Chain A
């Protein structure tokens, strides 16, 4: 990893689980942000997904995603704030989905784009992978990022997320 990457903060979910993770008071001194996550929920399914929001806003998000299941592929734009495919509580024990979200120019006065890739690892034949291009049509600088389960499930113990700041020089 380039030496321009700086770990801002990292968090791991404790034994009680958590509905969401929020990085707040994000310093405005970097060029880009990146969130690396390893997550699992208690959803009664092998799969689950994560949604992202900025500054507490859930409005004005759009996305286009390309996905593969291991046996089929497809694309969609039906799920605003989509940021990752992960695993639910019925997945193989002790496995976690993982992924990265990259947010360039988060302090600019332009709309904020993000790109994401993730895989709902299941240590089995089928595993959903996804590439996402997202947009938040808002000109505010990003000061907080919230990650939550799209199925309103609970993030399981040992789920983790790390926020990195990237400078272009």
Chain B
């Protein structure tokens, strides 16, 4: 069973207790929601990287040097 550490700031005492059923359920909800958000973030990052690579290739095709492309992207 998962546990949590509770630090009582009024006494300085730390206790370890089992999570309640509600807390366990909330963790599952949190994990599911984050998995969706993380997938969206990765999709966005992949799309950005692909767009950047495409732009670099097009600039190179126009005759820009590697240094000139790098300067434009900096």
Q: Which residues of A contact B (CB under 8 A)?
A: 8-9, 11, 13-14, 16, 18-27, 49, 51, 58, 67, 69, 71-72, 74, 76, 78-79, 81, 146, 148-152, 154, 163
Tell which of B7, B30, B41, B45 touches A9, judged by Cβ atoms closer than 8 Å. B7
Contact B9 A163 (CB under 8 A): yes
Apart from A19-B4, A78-B37, 16 more pairs, CB < 8 Å? A8-B9, A9-B7, A9-B12, A11-B14, A18-B5, A19-B23, A22-B5, A22-B7, A24-B9, A76-B37, A148-B27, A148-B30, A150-B30, A150-B34, A152-B31, A163-B9
Contact of A20 with B9 in the complex, beta carbons under 8 Å: no
Given contacts A51-B30, A74-B48, contact A21 B5 (CB under 8 A): yes
The answer to whether A16 and B34 touch across the interface, beta carbons within 8 angstroms, is no
Nearest opposing residue in chain A for B4, CB measure:
A20
Whether the Cβ atoms of A25 and B14 lie closer than 8 Å is no
Q: Counting CB contacts under 8 A, is B60 at the interface?
A: no
Question: In the complex, which residues 18-61 of chain B have their Cβ closer than 8 Å to any Cβ of chain A?
Answer: 19, 23, 26-28, 30-31, 33-37, 40-41, 44-45, 48-49
Given A21-B5, A27-B9, A74:B44 Cβ within 8 A: yes
Q: Is the CB of B19 within 8 A of A19?
A: yes
Checking A26, A69, A79, A149 against B45 with a beta-carbon cut-off of 8 angstroms, the contacting residue is A69
Q: How far is the CA of A150 from the CA of B14 in the complex (A)?
A: 23
| B27 near A19: Cβ-Cβ < 8 Å | yes
Residues of chain A within 8 A (CB-CB) of B34 are 49, 79, 150-151
A9–B14 Cα gap in the complex (Å)? 10
Q: Which residues of A contact B65 (CB under 8 A)?
A: none
Q: Is the CB of B64 closer than 8 A to any CB of chain A?
A: no
